[in-house]
Chains A and B, each alone.
Chain A
Amino acid sequence: MRKHLTRVRVMILGLASALVFGILTPSYATTTITVWTYGDVIDSTLVSEYEAAHPGIDIKAVNQGSPAAVKQKFQLYKNSSSVADVIVYETDDAGYFRHYGSLFKNLQNLPGASSLRSNYLPWRWNQGVAENGYLIGLPTDVGGLAVAYRKDLFAAAGLPTTPSKVAKLWNSSNTATAWGQFVTVGKRFQSAPKTKSNKKIKGFIDSSGTIFKAVLNQGTTKFYSGSNESLENSQLRSAFNIAANASTATPAIGARINPYGGSDWTPGLSSGAFAVTLAPAWQLDYIIHRAPASRGKWNITAAPGNGGNVGGSQLAIPKKAAHGTQAWDFISWYESPYAQLKMFKKRRLFPSASVLYKPGASCVGLSTGSGDSRTPALTSTDCHYIRNFSDPFFNNAKVGAIYADSALDLHSIPSGPLERQFTDAYQNQIGRLEAKKVTNVTTAWNKAVSDAKVISRRN
């Protein structure tokens, strides 16, 4: 009797569990696409939308913490089948990955790829084209560059406050002159008498060191000429001098608050410790979320010089990726003009899909991808959204048009495998000038060059 009862119990249990598993397990096999990413490049809302439209596909974004961590993991797993299906690399590393094109799938050969190129900013697109001609990555957003400034602090210092008048303060067509004008405005700002409204000021700009990268990206040469290293070229020297000039100005114009990773930046935004930050588009979302109380105090205008960019990434598919085709389907959807527009609306990430804002681009009716992944055709409203967008948080600044112009102004710059390290070497010397650890610009320059040469020799 007892035995019999037990058997019944086992049967019931078995049936119940079969039922439960039957309900929980989908009837189709699930393909998991792994993405090695950093920061918040992969947006969960957008991923959910893709997953909902693609039953059986599961996107698993694994945040590695930093671009360097993704890079390192790729180095270790490049020849293993457990490498991710998609890796995210930052544009600072573009030169590095472009050098090793053969370790990636050539996306050019994948369905629908040939027609995509014209939808994107050419210089952003090229950051995904390897030295061997492979298309290894699709561009995510573009940083662009503009000046976000505090209207109230400008007014207190007797400076103009409307975007067009502020932009005129540094509107020289010569890059070096324009940045020189910017520094002059900074000095004027710093010399203004302290009043009740600006007593918390630590500097005109958060960090004068950020100018270096901004100027560098406005040119046509950084550290490479063709595929050769060029560590002392005139454009590099000029960018260094402009940033050094800003960093050694008297009175000092920088608050020495690093916007990228420093702990003082967020409180500084709210309290008015600085009046200006060189803001890539993605940084606007940071200002909105970290300093909600400063709503209405900011405005945005064009940066000195022509255009500008900081940041941005590329999504690439390693050669050994287990689900290459599905991964391509995902990234081509995820970076489609349709999806990039959504990211702009949600997080101010500025599309590298220039078809959305380039004058004369044929955007209406555009739809990319194939089959299930075909994106909805863009409407006329979509195509005018960015150009017409003004941001209520920033005093209705014409954010869309400002960033569109800054992104369209840039050129492709030759890059190489050591670009990130070289940038660090020069940037560090600007940082030391800013911190007054070295006072002579030529000394700092020579140190930067010699540090860069050591890096070059060791690789």
Chain B
Amino acid sequence: MTSTSAVDVDRSKRGRHQRERVKIKSDHPNAKKQKYDKAESRWAFLFISPFYVIFLIFGLAPIIFSVAVSFFNWNPLEEQQTFIGLQNFKDLVIDPIFWISVRNTFSIWFFSTIPQMFMAIGIASILRSPKLRGRVFWQTMLLLPNITSAIAIAVVFGQMFGRDFGIINILLSHINRGPVDWIENTLPSHIAIATMITWRWVGYNSLIFLASMNAISKDLYESADLDGASRFQQFRYVTLPQLKNTITFMVIVGTIGGLQVFAEPATLGGSYDGGTSNQFSTLTLYLFKQVAVNGTYGYAAAIGIGITVLVVIISAINFFITRRISGEGSK
């Protein structure tokens, strides 16, 4: 580092560097690993700074600002904003639509994440089958819904879920069921929205499952084969346990996505109300309504903080469950 290439380096500086290295050596038992000296580590800060600078401007600053806004009755067109202390939060706790939105968000999350998991594992297993022809084609096709805009999907599915002329109700009528009002009724509307989300993400998730399935050691299957395990038993006792980490990852990503559901309910209802009784209003939709329709930015910020609190709680639950699962794994 210091001796070979540094022909024209100032002697004294070089000497100091060497002294420092020596000092490190004497203090530190693992000093051999300490490859970089202080001057160079300063460069490291420069190189990692773009992320932090951008994060400060576009991440942290807005967060701090919106926390501040939540204490105001903030009307963007007024010159002066009124400080109202905790009033927005007091309103939020007793706001029935907020809690309906919480319920809807979790219900939609449940209907989109859980069935999707089973479907994705199933599709991935099919894609992995050696008998499948044109594998690359099928893998590519799976990603198509994912690169289609959520609004476009919502418009098309909105037509399919139409009460009177939607194809789903027409199909249901052939088995003497329905018609179901996919918008006015709470549970059907959640299922309709969850279907759109599933359609959009199931292919993507399948590919992730496929990748982690391919990473499972062949030896495991071979030994299972030798032990006389059937295909299904191999899937149940080899594939599934090996996918545990991926499943955890999916649940976390699905939860993040689930808390952000917006375009689907907005398009399905054609407004930011989420239906006449807010039966499919989600958290982000309700937040956005405060900004776009009501112009109550302070209350919107309070909802944002409410969502943050929920995320913290969910993350904590996730964390403990994940730790338990991985703890079991190591036994």
Q: Do A and B share a complex?
A: yes
Residues of A within 8 A of B (CB): 68-69, 71-72, 75-76, 78, 96, 99-100, 103, 202, 255-258, 260-264, 267-268, 271, 273, 420-421, 424, 428-429, 431-432, 435, 437, 455, 458-459
Contact call B292/A72, Cβ cutoff below 8 A:
yes
CB of B241 within 8 Å of the partner chain: no
Contact call A262/B270, Cβ cutoff below 8 A:
yes
Contact call B276/A421, Cβ cutoff below 8 A:
no
Q: Which of B33-41, B49-57, B155-163, B210-218 contacts A (4 or more CB under 8 A)?
A: B155-163
- Minimum CB–CB distance from B173 to chain A (whole Å) comes to 13
Cβ-defined partner of A458 (8 Å) among B165, B277, B292, B296: B296
Contact call A459/B164, Cβ cutoff below 8 A:
no
Cβ-defined partner of B276 (8 Å) among A69, A257, A273, A428: A428
Residues of B within 8 A of A (CB): 73, 75-77, 91, 158-159, 161-166, 181, 184, 270-273, 276-277, 291-296, 299
Instruction: Beyond the given A75-B76, A459-B296, please list 5 additional residue pairs across the A-B interface where CB-CB is below 8 A.
Output: A255-B164, A263-B159, A263-B162, A264-B164, A268-B165
Contact call A428/B164, Cβ cutoff below 8 A:
no
Once the chains are docked, how many angstroms separate the CA of A190 from the CA of B235?
59
Once the chains are docked, how many angstroms separate the CA of A458 from the CA of B97?
14
Once the chains are docked, how many angstroms separate the CA of A217 from the CA of B292?
24
Contact call B75/A264, Cβ cutoff below 8 A:
no
Cβ-defined partner of A421 (8 Å) among B163, B165, B184, B293: B293
Contact call A202/B164, Cβ cutoff below 8 A:
yes
Q: Which 4 A-B pairs have the closest CB atoms?
A: A261-B270, A431-B276, A267-B165, A75-B76
Cβ-defined partner of A100 (8 Å) among B77, B162, B273: B77
Known contacts A267-B162, A268-B164, A268-B165; A71 and B273 CB within 8 A of each other:
no
Contact call A76/B76, Cβ cutoff below 8 A:
yes
Contact call A435/B270, Cβ cutoff below 8 A:
no
Contact call A263/B158, Cβ cutoff below 8 A:
yes
Known contacts A261-B271, A424-B273; A68 and B158 CB within 8 A of each other:
no
Query: Taking each of A263, A273, A421, which has the highest tally of chain B beta carbons within 10 Å of its own beta carbon?
Result: A263
- What residues of A have a CB within 8 angstroms of the CB of B75 in the complex? 459
- What residues of A have a CB within 8 angstroms of the CB of B273 in the complex? 424, 428
- Minimum CB–CB distance from A102 to chain B (whole Å) comes to 9
Contact call B292/A68, Cβ cutoff below 8 A:
yes
Contact call A432/B159, Cβ cutoff below 8 A:
no
Cβ-defined partner of A273 (8 Å) among B164, B295, B296: B164
Interface SS majority for chain A = helix
Cβ-defined partner of B77 (8 Å) among A78, A258, A264, A437: A78
Once the chains are docked, how many angstroms separate the CA of A72 from the CA of B296?
11
- Minimum CB–CB distance from A62 to chain B (whole Å) comes to 17
Contact call A459/B294, Cβ cutoff below 8 A:
yes
Once the chains are docked, how many angstroms separate the CA of A421 from the CA of B291?
12
Cβ-defined partner of B163 (8 Å) among A100, A264, A431: A264
Once the chains are docked, how many angstroms separate the CA of A26 from the CA of B194?
53
Once the chains are docked, how many angstroms separate the CA of A21 from the CA of B77?
44
Contact call A458/B162, Cβ cutoff below 8 A:
no
- What residues of A have a CB within 8 angstroms of the CB of B163 in the complex? 256-257, 264
Q: 27 pairs across A/B with beta carbons < 8 Å? A: A68-B272, A71-B292, A71-B295, A72-B291, A75-B76, A75-B295, A76-B76, A78-B77, A96-B295, A256-B184, A257-B164, A262-B270, A263-B159, A264-B163, A264-B165, A264-B166, A267-B162, A421-B294, A424-B273, A424-B293, A428-B273, A431-B276, A432-B277, A435-B276, A437-B276, A458-B73, A459-B73
Minimum CB distance partner of B77 in chain A: A100
- What residues of B have a CB within 8 angstroms of the CB of A429 in the complex? 276
Once the chains are docked, how many angstroms separate the CA of A258 from the CA of B73?
34
Minimum CB distance partner of B292 in chain A: A68
Minimum CB distance partner of B157 in chain A: A263
Query: Taking each of A69, A261, A273, which has the highest tally of chain B beta carbons within 10 Å of its own beta carbon?
Result: A261
- What residues of A have a CB within 8 angstroms of the CB of B296 in the complex? 458-459
- What residues of A have a CB within 8 angstroms of the CB of B166 in the complex? 263-264
Once the chains are docked, how many angstroms separate the CA of A256 from the CA of B270?
15
- Minimum CB–CB distance from B152 to chain A (whole Å) comes to 13
Once the chains are docked, how many angstroms separate the CA of A72 from the CA of B277?
24
Once the chains are docked, how many angstroms separate the CA of A437 from the CA of B299?
28
- What residues of B have a CB within 8 angstroms of the CB of A264 in the complex? 162-166
- Minimum CB–CB distance from B298 to chain A (whole Å) comes to 8
- Minimum CB–CB distance from A124 to chain B (whole Å) comes to 23
Query: Taking each of B73, B75, B76, which has the highest tally of chain A beta carbons within 10 Å of its own beta carbon?
Result: B76
- Minimum CB–CB distance from B82 to chain A (whole Å) comes to 11
- Minimum CB–CB distance from A74 to chain B (whole Å) comes to 8
- Minimum CB–CB distance from A120 to chain B (whole Å) comes to 26
- What residues of A have a CB within 8 angstroms of the CB of B165 in the complex? 263-264, 267-268, 271, 273
Minimum CB distance partner of A417 in chain B: B295
Contact call A455/B292, Cβ cutoff below 8 A:
no
Known contacts A68-B272, A263-B159, A267-B165; A420 and B293 CB within 8 A of each other:
yes
Contact call A432/B292, Cβ cutoff below 8 A:
no
- Minimum CB–CB distance from A201 to chain B (whole Å) comes to 11
Once the chains are docked, how many angstroms separate the CA of A264 from the CA of B159?
7
Known contacts A75-B77, A258-B270, A420-B293; A435 and B184 CB within 8 A of each other:
yes
Once the chains are docked, how many angstroms separate the CA of A432 from the CA of B276?
6
Once the chains are docked, how many angstroms separate the CA of A424 from the CA of B272?
11
Minimum CB distance partner of B276 in chain A: A431
Minimum CB distance partner of A273 in chain B: B164
- What residues of B have a CB within 8 angstroms of the CB of A455 in the complex? 294
Once the chains are docked, how many angstroms separate the CA of A424 from the CA of B164?
25
Query: Taking each of A68, A69, A455, which has the highest tally of chain B beta carbons within 10 Å of its own beta carbon?
Result: A68
Query: Taking each of B77, B162, B273, B277, which has the highest tally of chain A beta carbons within 10 Å of its own beta carbon?
Result: B77
Minimum CB distance partner of A203 in chain B: B164
- What residues of A have a CB within 8 angstroms of the CB of B294 in the complex? 421, 455, 458-459
Known contacts A262-B270, A263-B159, A432-B277; A68 and B293 CB within 8 A of each other:
yes
Minimum CB distance partner of A202 in chain B: B164
Once the chains are docked, how many angstroms separate the CA of A421 from the CA of B25?
71
- What residues of A have a CB within 8 angstroms of the CB of B299 in the complex? 458
- What residues of B have a CB within 8 angstroms of the CB of A420 in the complex? 293
Once the chains are docked, how many angstroms separate the CA of A96 from the CA of B295?
10
Minimum CB distance partner of A66 in chain B: B292
Minimum CB distance partner of A99 in chain B: B77
- Minimum CB–CB distance from B70 to chain A (whole Å) comes to 13
Contact call A260/B276, Cβ cutoff below 8 A:
no
- Minimum CB–CB distance from B172 to chain A (whole Å) comes to 15
- Minimum CB–CB distance from B44 to chain A (whole Å) comes to 37
Once the chains are docked, how many angstroms separate the CA of A255 from the CA of B272?
23
Once the chains are docked, how many angstroms separate the CA of A417 from the CA of B35?
65
- What residues of B have a CB within 8 angstroms of the CB of A96 in the complex? 295
